[in-house]
Structure 1
Amino acid sequence: MTQQPSTPAQNSPVTVVGLGPMGLALAAALMDKGHPTTVWNRTPEKARDLVARGARLAPSVADAVAASPLTLVCLKDYAALYEALGPVGGPSAGRALVNLNSGTPKEAHAAASWAAERGVAYLDGAIMVPPPLVGDPGSVFLYSGPREVFDAHRDTLASLGDSRYLGADPGLAVLHNAALLGLMYATMNGFLHATALVGSAGVPAAEFADLAVNRFLPTVVDATLVEQAPNLDAGHYPGDLGTMEMNLNALEHIARTCEERGVYAGQPRLMRDIAARAIADGHGGSNYLAVFEVFRKAAER
């Protein structure tokens, strides 16, 4: 769909549908940046503070999406999107819809088709920060779908944070969302497990956090991943400085230490099993990054 040229960000009205904690943060950030903001929520009482600040509470979702050239939807999932906007068919011609709930790439493709059938300009999106950081220039927001839709509303979306356009495939935003959240949970679990392990000897979490987060991770993990990322694309895993066999030995020691200290050992056992799988696949002499081949080739099995 052909989009109208974007208007100056401070003058462009925006609608926000869904006023959970994130929806409230979106609307507040837009208002802070000078956007006339219309809001709608199934429970109107949630809009009370926004209305007191000057937001307009729409009497219906149809009225809400008709009020602005851009509607941001921040609901639980794709089913909630269809439930809320299905009866009104989405925004009318010349207006755009940006969906900011989480889900799967397959669901994002279905939503893009749903929008296209109704003549709606559609972007799928993902918010990669908690509500208090919405509006910060460094907060990352991901978008995927037609480039012309993103470009038409780039200035408005920039009011929320650092807008990253990922490509025309509408599933890319939720795919990155799942990948980054998976990284977050794995990192959090790694820290929490490590803290529990040293905590078995009475080491305070605050003391260990300084060593682990401020010293160890930036030097040993972060720098290594950035430096070695091109080797993942090339499938190049030289074991000059340490092989998978050596790493399996270390993982075995971690698991045994957890068992000895009475700390949950399921997590290191899983990591040990993954390394063993990589060795079984012929990567015993490679470095630990060859585990990447186990992950990306799982579907082939």
Structure 2
Amino acid sequence: MEKEALEKTSVTLLGLGAMGGALARAWLTAGHRLTVWNRTPARTASVVAEGGRAADSAAEAVAANTLVVVCLLDDASVGEALADADLTGRDLVNLTTSTPAQARARAEWARERGARYLDGGIMAVPPMIGVPGSGGYVFYSGSGELFERYRETLAVPAGTTYVGEDPGFAALHDVALLSAMYGMFAGAAHAFALIRKEDIDPTAFAPLLADWLVAMAPAVHQTADQLRSGDYTKGVVSNLAMQVAGTPTFLDTAEQQGVSPELLTPYFALMRRRLTEGSGDEDLTGVIDLLRR
């Protein structure tokens, strides 16, 4: 029994794309026995060379170990790959990017086939996997018992953050954070566009932009506090009325610089709409309510 407790968990991994390959290398480097399958068999060669075992089919790979990790292209790929596999008694950890609804449906699909299920949302790019201190981590949701059982093994490639029993919560957290990232990228793109035709070195401007975004980031805590309390006037520094009054300056500057305002105008429109429906003394938090259907 003591010997078994000391042995590292054996892992089956389905999918050896850029992310899957990075996961495989991390587990092999840490000394885990690894069985892999990939739709294109040639991709398994490097894993085998490093000590892994390649299965001829997904069903064979699933049969090799209790812990089965899936990292494929999309949710449909998961269903196709596991169509002929016997999932009875298996612990399925799905790291394939999906929507919350897909994750919940996949959890039920796994349960009906006799498997326990944990969903994951990877907050990292392949070069961050298996690198201590890289900042990469994975959201997990679904069976809390399953997460605790494999916490150490799952933490080998990247940090772990468990967000609840609802199987859809990992995907929801993943998409929510990435949505904020794209919003930030949109703002940065507009900022760079404004200075593009001027004698301003973008590499000199970039540190100013980065520092400003970092300085503004803590505002999300006030937004969260206002949402929880329901008081959107709490702690307001620059109210909605003042900010709406300032929007023409941004639009005029964009026109003068020959820059399309299309990345800003949707948000400004929501701000104006909220001003007509709410209170000018509010923060920008009320815009969130307008986005809910």
SS of 1:153's partner is helix
**1:149 lines up with 2:146 in the alignment:** yes
- AA aligned to 1:272 is F
**1:291 lines up with 2:287 in the alignment:** yes
Deviations 1:7-32 (A, max 9, x none): 76862111110111111011111111
Q: Distance in 2 between matches of 1:128 and 1:188?
A: 16
- Counterpart in the other structure of 2:97: 102
SS of 2:237's partner is coil
Contact 1:129–1:140 (8 Å) recurs in 2 = yes
**1:246 lines up with 2:242 in the alignment:** yes
Q: Which runs of 5+ in 1 are unaligned?
A: 1-6
**Cα displacement (A) at 1:227:** 4.5
- Counterpart in the other structure of 2:121: 126
Percent identical pairs in the alignment equals 39
- Paired residues, number: 287
TM-score (norm 1): 0.90
**Cα displacement (A) at 1:240:** 5.0
SS of 2:264's partner is helix
- AA aligned to 1:97 is L
- Counterpart in the other structure of 1:50: 47
Match of residue 272, structure 1, among 265, 268, 275: 268
Relative to 1, partners in 2 of residues 1:51 and 1:263: Cα closer, same or farther, differing over 3 Å?
same
- AA aligned to 2:23 is L
- Counterpart in the other structure of 1:167: 164
**Cα displacement (A) at 1:285:** 2.1
Q: Distance in 1 between matches of 2:290 and 2:280?
A: 12
Q: Distance in 1 between matches of 2:64 and 2:167?
A: 25
The CA RMSD measured in Å over matched residues stands at 1.7
Deviations 1:151-183 (A, max 9, x none): 111111011221111111111011111101101
Match of residue 69, structure 2, among 72, 80, 86: 72
- Counterpart in the other structure of 1:195: 192
- Counterpart in the other structure of 2:183: 186
Farther off after superposition, 50-59 or 231-240: 231-240
**Cα displacement (A) at 1:289:** 2.8
Higher helix fraction: Structure 1 or Structure 2?
1
Match of residue 218, structure 1, among 214, 219, 225: 214
SS of 2:278's partner is helix
**Cα displacement (A) at 1:39:** 0.8
TM-score (norm 2): 0.92
Q: Distance in 1 between matches of 2:263 and 2:32?
A: 47
Relative to 1, partners in 2 of residues 1:240 and 1:47: Cα closer, same or farther, differing over 3 Å?
closer
**1:112 lines up with 2:107 in the alignment:** yes
SS of 1:110's partner is helix
Q: Distance in 1 between matches of 2:109 and 2:201?
A: 52
Contact 1:9–1:156 (8 Å) recurs in 2 = no
Q: Distance in 1 between matches of 2:70 and 2:199?
A: 47
**Cα displacement (A) at 1:72:** 0.8
Contact 2:62–2:85 (8 Å) recurs in 1 = no
Contact 1:8–1:155 (8 Å) recurs in 2 = no
SS of 1:211's partner is helix
